[in-house]
Amino acid sequence: MTNNGKRVAWVTGGGSGIGESAAEFLAADGWTVVVSGRRKPELDRVVAKIAGKGGKAEAIVLDVSNRDDVNKAAETIVARHGRIDLLVNSAGINLPKRSWEDFDLDGWDKVVDINLNGVLYCMHAVLPTMRKQKDGCIINVASWAGRHVSKMTGPAYTTTKHAVLALTQSFNMDECVNGLRACCFSPGEVATPILKLRPVPPSEAEQAKMLQPEDCGRTIAFVASLPPRVCINEILISPTHNRGFIATPKSND
Cα dihedral 95, 97, 100, 104 in deg (nearest 10): -80
C-alpha distances out from residue 47 to 38, 62, 194, Å: 14, 15, 21
What is the greatest pairwise CA distance in the chain?
56
Q: How far apart are CA 64 and CA 28, in angstroms?
A: 25
Q: How far apart are CA 84 and CA 8, in angstroms?
A: 5
Q: Give the H or E element holding residue 56.
A: strand 56-61
- Report how far Cα 207 is from the mean position of its chain's Cα atoms: 20
Q: How many CA atoms lie within 13 A of 164 on its CB side?
A: 40
Q: How far apart are CA 35 and CA 244, in angstroms?
A: 32
- Alpha-carbon Rg for the chain, nearest whole angstrom, is 17
Sequence-separated (6 or more) residues with CB below 8 Å from residue 148: 244
Residues taking part in catalysis:
157
**Environment class of 148 (CB within 10 Å of its CB; exposed 0-12, middle 13-18, buried 19+):** middle
Torsions phi, psi of 138, nearest 5? -125, 130
